[in-house]
Amino acid sequence: MTNPPSDDAAPPGPDTSDTATLERLVGSWLTVPDVAERLGVPLSAVRRMLEDRELLAARVGERRVISVPEQFLDERVLRHLRGTFTVLADGGMDDEELLRWLFTPDSTLPTQGTPVDALAAGFKTEVRRRAMEQAF
């Protein structure tokens, strides 16, 4: 006769340590309603941007709310994100890997910081070149 499993033996939930690391790496996140407010567009437009991969989001925070890295936005969506997402995804990266790559510091870029910093500074070609090297 076996004993029923105790609460201590319950199977672990999904591993959120990787997500927590991603949250810290990115730093500042905006919920979908916050993105809509920042851009001055309806929620449906932000959802469409996510579906069309003009923006990427991840489930973050204690409540696992769908959120977008704040650095992807200025007055509008950061230029050149979509093409960079495509290059990395075509190389086999999933969204979480893609976000990690974009927010990991890279000392070889022409600007100090991360690939997303370089995109914001106008170094699309350099970022995409590294994206292709990384992805393939």
Q: Single out the residue of 68, 70, 95, 69 nearest to residue 84, CA to CA.
A: 95
The verdict on residue 80 lying in a domain is: yes
Domains contained in the chain, number: 1
Rounded to the nearest 5°, which phi and psi values hold at 92?
A: 105, 5
The tens-digit pLDDT sequence of the chain (136 residues) is 444 444 443 333 344 567 788 899 899 999 999 999 999 999 999 999 999 999 999 999 888 999 999 999 988 999 899 999 999 999 899 999 999 999 999 998 988 899 999 999 999 999 999 998 876 6
Alpha carbon dihedral 65, 71, 76, 78, in 10-degree steps, equals: -120
The verdict on residue 86 lying in a domain is: yes
The verdict on residue 57 lying in a domain is: yes
